[in-house]
Each structure stands twice: as C-alpha cells, then as structure tokens.
Chains A and B, each alone.
Chain A
Amino acid sequence: MPREVGRQYKEILKKYIDSQSEEDLYVGQQFSRRFIEKQIAPEDVISIHKTALLELLPDLRDEVWISMDFLIEMMIHYGLTLREHQSLIRKQEILQMEMNVATKVQDTLLQTTSPNVKGLDVGWVSQPAHQMNGDYVYFLNENQHVASVAVADVMGKGIPAALCMSMIKFGMDGLEKGDTDPRAVLDIINRIVEKSVDNSMFISMFYGKYDARSSTFSYSSAGHEPALYFNAASGTFMELNAKGLLLGIKTDVVYEEHAVQMQDGDFIAMMTDGVTETRTEEGFIESESIQQLLESVRDQSAQKMAEHLYNELAGLQEYRLGDDFTIVIFKKNPEEV
C-alpha cells in the first residue's frame, strides 16, 4: 500500500513542479491526510519524497540526496513523539469513558431521597463544579416525625473525594438503628473517617435533625459552614454555629449540639462553601446577598428557593462554578389539619 501512496505522491509532486499552481498545492494538502490516515510516519514521508524526486529529477547533485538522508534522521524522533501522542490520546479516551461510568456509579451509589415529615418542606440542589461531586447530601427519615440531613464537603475534588464519600454514605447507612442525635452521628462518622482516610483528606460536615413533634431543629457541625436560620416573625437571619473539628483529624472530638425552635414560615439553609464563597468580579459574595436572595423567595416552596439561589449565584459566575455547590433548605410550613 505505501508503494501505491508513493506512486500517487510522485504524480502530485510532478504536477506541482511543472505548474506551481495553488490548485496542485490544495490537492497536495488533501493528499497529506492520506499519510495521516495510513499512519505513515514523518520519516517515511521524507523517504517517499526522496524516492519520487529520484525518479523525477535524477540528475540533482549528490548533496541533495545526502541532505534528504539527514532530514530522515531528523524526523525519527518526531515520528516517535507523534506515535506517543496518539497512544496517549487513546489512553485518555479510555480514561474518559471510565470517568463517565464512575460518575454514573457515584450518582446511583449516593442517591438519597427527600424525607417526608408533616409540616416540613425540604428542597435541595447539589451541583458539581467538575465531573464528580465533592459535596454530599444524605437524608435520613427515621420515622414519620423525624427528618435528618447531613451536608458534607470533601476538600479536594474529583475521584478521591468521590471515593471518600462512598465511605461516609456507608457509615450513615449503618446509623439507621442507632443514636441519631447530631453530636452522636458526627462522633461515629468521625471515628470511621479517622480510621479509613489518610490525613491529607479533610471533610467538613453539618448534621441537622428536625423533630416535628416539638418543632425543634438540633444540629452539630464538624468544621462546616454555619447554616442560616430565618426567623419569619422578626424577619431576621441568624447563623447556626456549633463548634467541632473537621472529620478524620483525631478520634476524641467533642461536638457541640444546639437547637432552635422553628415557627411557621421559618427556614434553615444549610450550604457548602461553594455557595458562600461564590466569586464575582468584585470578590466573594457577601453573606447579606445570600440572605436577601433567600428572603426574596421566602413564600415559595423550599425546592424553588434552593433553585432560585443556585440560578442567581451560578448566573453571577456565568455558570462556571468554581467549587461544588450545595444547598439544602428545611422550611416549616403550617400543618394542615
């Protein structure tokens, strides 16, 4: 086959030498694709050129032929580099395919269902900045009166973060029958993470538990962003802080636990730093701006509120998220009688 290519190359070259027209150059350029299609190395192209020239202009000076041999020598490494790149591209395609599968596995693995508790409206959005999400939301619906949520942020992104989250998820799954008070949950998860993850991986987590019988929301935090509590009666926001070290640093951590009593129309927004550290041209977004955005849609459903905040903040960043973005809203509605 290369012989056939060589014959055609000679014809095209001859035409060009005779006419030097743009048309022949165009034909030549089209023909060069065949070299690439047939994976003919650059050094072979020079050799084909030399062979063609030997037949077309056999009387050229010896120095010309010698220089062509030199050029062949020069092209060997180009040829190798080209083939190396081609093989790396194939490898990358395989990796990309594996990533796509991994993302699907992650989605299935980390699926969680919004809890169903009378008088509590739950809404949430979690959007990864890259292909795999380093934020994690997990709902627990212990019984018809109690709904809990864990919002976690694995520092570092991509595959290592995703692997880490699977571990948290299985830790949470094991909780169903145990103590589900926020400080106890963080204590257990902290021990699991400390045992299984190396020290370079940091995880922050906010855990909140709503009990409809007393309308109380109790919470603990492992170095996570404070949640925002909106008091509908006074129209004011309050930060829900609770002291506690990031997960996985040491085993004996005491996590604080606090509680607020929710009234109708009150809501609590739990977020990751992808929300609070939204970057605009003027720098980080102000906490007041987030509060204003939430308050402006306080009469809508919790899901609409979460989506509104996401759309507004993502819009500010022209939909190029700098970090994984997660918000969960618990809103107390009047119970229908």
Chain B
Amino acid sequence: MSYRSSVEIYTEWDIVAARQLGRNEAKKTGFGTVDQARITTAISELARNIYLYAGKGKIEIERISENGAFGIKIIASDEGPGISDLRKVMEDGYSTSGGLGAGMPGVKRLMDEFKVVSEPGVGTTITAKKWLH
C-alpha cells in the first residue's frame, strides 16, 4: 500500500494546501486528532521553510507500511540555497529564538524519523516519517 501525492509550494496559500493534504492522509492512515495536528504542524513548518528560504519547492506525502506497521512519510524538497551548517540548524534555540517557528528540532520532535540531505547551492531534501503506535 503506497500512495503518494504532492503539493508544489510557491505561495503562502500552498502551505495551507499542503497542510490540508497532510491532515487528510494522516486521518486516512488512522492517526488520532493529536497526531494529526502534529503531522500537520510538521508539514506546515517544512512548507513554510521552503516558502521563506528557497522560494519554491515541493511537499510530497505518502502513506507507508513496513513490517506490518503503518505510517506516513513527508518529503520536503527544494532547489534553494541549501543549509551550510546542519549541526547548527538542528540545535535547540537556534531558529526558534528569532521567532521563525518550530524549526528543524521541532519538526524532528513532532515526527518519529527525520533525515536531512542538503548541499549549499543545490538544495535541500528533508524526509520525515511518523508511525501509528
């Protein structure tokens, strides 16, 4: 069972569309209200980062299953400036102090698995998963 859909992020309205898609998929996967809210918030943060720092990019959402476990996967990708210091953006208090939102550590906390691949000048791809417990 693998079903993927995506939203291109160009404007702030696209963030709302990505949230809506994420919430629907989370609900279909069987997540409860709180986890739906967490997944949606994570998508929202990732989409907002694309909108603010890369200008444009894409949010893909996929329902996944592995060894009998069900979950949801978010892929946020852009061809923006990339992140030069990954350790720094993963530090608590780095982005949040500027009021920029939950930041990377926040997204990581909201989800179960989190992976960043980034190359300065090329772009960033963030993959995050959450499993039904």
Chain A residues in the interface with B (C-beta under 8 A): 43-44, 46-47, 50, 69, 72-73, 76-77, 80-81, 83-84, 87-88, 91
A80–B110 CB distance below 8 A:
yes
Q: Which of these, B33, B41, B93, contacts A84 with CB under 8 Å? A: B93
Whole-angstrom distance between the Cβ of A134 and the nearest chain B Cβ: 27
In the docked arrangement, what's the CA distance between A84 and B106, Å?
A: 8
B102–A88 CB distance below 8 A:
no
A73–B96 CB distance below 8 A:
no
For A41, give the chain B residue with the smallest CB separation: B34
For B41, give the chain A residue with the smallest CB separation: A76
Contact of A87 with B92 at beta-carbon distance under 8 Å, contacts A47-B33, A77-B102, A80-B102 already known: yes
A47–B32 CB distance below 8 A:
yes
In the docked arrangement, what's the CA distance between A85 and B75, Å?
A: 27
A72–B110 CB distance below 8 A:
no
* Interface SS of A by simple majority: helix
**Cβ contacts under 8 Å, B126 to chain A:** none
A84–B105 CB distance below 8 A:
yes
Besides A43-B34, A76-B110, A87-B105, 8 more A-B contacts (Cβ < 8 Å) are A43-B38, A47-B33, A50-B33, A69-B37, A73-B37, A73-B41, A80-B109, A84-B92
A43–B92 CB distance below 8 A:
no
* Interface SS of B by simple majority: helix
In the docked arrangement, what's the CA distance between A81 and B102, Å?
A: 8
In the docked arrangement, what's the CA distance between A84 and B37, Å?
A: 18
Contact of A72 with B34 at beta-carbon distance under 8 Å, contacts A84-B96, A88-B93 already known: yes
Whole-angstrom distance between the Cβ of A28 and the nearest chain B Cβ: 21
**Cβ contacts under 8 Å, B38 to chain A:** 43, 76
**Cβ contacts under 8 Å, A47 to chain B:** 32-34
B37–A76 CB distance below 8 A:
yes
**Cβ contacts under 8 Å, B37 to chain A:** 43, 69, 72-73, 76
Q: Which of these, A69, A77, A87, A91, contacts B41 with CB under 8 Å? A: A77
In the docked arrangement, what's the CA distance between A84 and B97, Å?
A: 11
Chain B window 88-116, contacts with chain A (Cβ cutoff 8 Å), 1 for yes, 0 for no:
00001100100001100110011000000
**Cβ contacts under 8 Å, B40 to chain A:** 73
For B107, give the chain A residue with the smallest CB separation: A80
**Cβ contacts under 8 Å, A87 to chain B:** 92, 105
Whole-angstrom distance between the Cβ of A67 and the nearest chain B Cβ: 12
A44–B34 CB distance below 8 A:
yes
A69–B33 CB distance below 8 A:
yes
Please list 7 pairs of residues, one from A and one from B, whose beta carbons are closer than 8 Å in the complex, sorted by A's number.
A43-B38, A69-B37, A76-B41, A76-B110, A77-B106, A80-B109, A87-B105
Whole-angstrom distance between the Cβ of A206 and the nearest chain B Cβ: 42
Whole-angstrom distance between the Cβ of A20 and the nearest chain B Cβ: 28
For B101, give the chain A residue with the smallest CB separation: A77
Whole-angstrom distance between the Cβ of A17 and the nearest chain B Cβ: 22
- Which of B37, B38, B101 has most A Cβ within 10 Å? B37
Whole-angstrom distance between the Cβ of A224 and the nearest chain B Cβ: 39
In the docked arrangement, what's the CA distance between A87 and B105, Å?
A: 11
For B106, give the chain A residue with the smallest CB separation: A80
Question: Which residues of chain B (18-34) have a CB below 8 Å from chain A?
Answer: 32-34
**Cβ contacts under 8 Å, B41 to chain A:** 73, 76-77
For B32, give the chain A residue with the smallest CB separation: A47
In the docked arrangement, what's the CA distance between A303 and B101, Å?
A: 58
B93–A81 CB distance below 8 A:
no
**Cβ contacts under 8 Å, A76 to chain B:** 37-38, 41, 110
